[in-house]
């Protein structure tokens, strides 16, 4: 998620740090997990119910999954990201990604009432997508950035029960789960559509990308999508 949060001074809190590098040919991505909220209820729950080692392995899996889904088969196809750092900290909200870092809220972890390990796995698939996806040199609208990240989460299988069902939502530009379901429909129309859309966004963005790839405007595709499911709300 792209939201920005207020940061707190955490210098006095104990840290739990784990680092590993995974090698892709001669190219390596280093993964680091830092728990800056280890003495808080959420930080303790992270250590007990999720753990740094599991989180590291999840990030490795999420990276490889995203590369396959985006058809980024060689290092030249991808962003040059030598290091991904996961930081658990005492902040509001859920999570956000910026500059190779994924920040996850210990408060969210502490207050989550369901299967927190599964939920944070899904969150990491979403946020890790932001590390690797192209953003059209910052021209891609936020609804599509977040929709693609949730599309990756959808395809990973780690989605929460509160997501909209296929066909639900008021418009394609609502982002997150609404857009993810719509993109899944578009991807069914043309296998690999999301990967091709992401490739086009390496240098810029235009709504016409939908026309170029699927022969219809995004608005018409949304109308078709809604019609397929009986125009449910």
DSSP characters over 157-205? T---TTSPPTT-SS-GGG-HHHHHHHHHHHHHHSTTHHHHHHHHTTT--
Query: Whole-structure pTM over 0.85, yes or no?
Result: yes
Please compute the mean of the pLDDT values over residues 174-189 and round it to a whole number.
98
For residue 200, pLDDT beyond 90: yes
What is the average pLDDT value for the chain, to the nearest integer? 91
Surface-to-core class of residue 162, CB atoms within 10 Å of its CB (0-12 exposed, 13-18 middle, 19+ buried): exposed
CATH topology of domain 28-132: Neutral Protease; domain 2 (1.10.390)
What radius of gyration, in Å, describes the C-alpha atoms of the chain? 18
The domain locations on the chain are: 28-132, 137-232
Task: Quick: pLDDT tens for 27-43.
Answer: 589 999 999 999 999 99
- Per-residue pLDDT reduced to its tens digit, 51-108: 999 999 999 999 999 999 999 999 999 999 999 999 999 999 999 999 999 999 999 9
Query: What is the average per-residue pLDDT within 160-179?
Result: 97
Tokens of 148: 């693609």
How high is the pLDDT of residue 133?
98
Distances (CA, A) of 21 to 26, 27, 32, 100, 115: 12, 10, 9, 14, 28
Measured CA to CA, the distance from residue 204 to residue 208 in angstroms comes to: 11
The Cα angle at residue 213 between residues 208 and 218, in degrees rounded to 5: 50
Q: Is the pLDDT of residue 208 over 90?
A: yes
Does residue 206 surpass a pLDDT of 70?
yes
CA dist 147 to 46, 119, 217, Å? 27, 18, 17
Give the model's pLDDT for residue 3. 40
Contact assessment for residue 117 and residue 92, using Cβ atoms and an 8 Å cutoff: no
For residue 17, name the pLDDT band (cuts at 50, 70, 90).
low
Q: Residue for token digits 């990201």?
A: 81
Mean pLDDT (whole number) for 204-210:
98
């Amino acid at each position: 998620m792209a939201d920005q949060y207020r940061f707190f001074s955490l210098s006095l809190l104990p840290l739990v740090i784990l680092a590993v590098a995974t090698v892709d040919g001669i190219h390596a991505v280093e993964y680091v997990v830092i728990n800056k909220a280890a003495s808080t209820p959420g930080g303790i729950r992270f250590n007990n119910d999720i753990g740094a080692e599991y989180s590291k392995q999840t990030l490795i899996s999420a990276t490889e999954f995203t590369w396959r889904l985006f058809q980024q088969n060689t290092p030249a196809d991808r962003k040059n990201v030598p290091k991904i750092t996961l930081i658990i900290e005492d902040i509001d909200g859920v999570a956000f990604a910026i500059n190779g870092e994924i920040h996850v809220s210990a408060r969210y972890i502490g207050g989550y009432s369901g299967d927190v390990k599964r939920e944070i796995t899904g969150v990491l698939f979403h946020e890790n997508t932001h590390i690797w996806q192209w953003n059209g040199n910052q021209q891609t609208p936020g609804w599509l950035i977040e929709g693609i990240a949730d599309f990756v989460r959808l395809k990973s299988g780690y989605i929460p029960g509160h997501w909209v069902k296929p066909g639900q939502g008021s418009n394609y530009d609502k982002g997150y789960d609404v857009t993810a379901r719509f993109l899944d429909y578009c991807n069914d129309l043309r296998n690999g559509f999301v990967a091709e859309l992401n490739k086009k966004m390496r240098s810029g963005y235009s709504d016409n990308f939908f026309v170029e790839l699927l022969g219809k405007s995004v608005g018409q595709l949304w109308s078709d999508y809604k019609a397929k499911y009986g125009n449910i709300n």
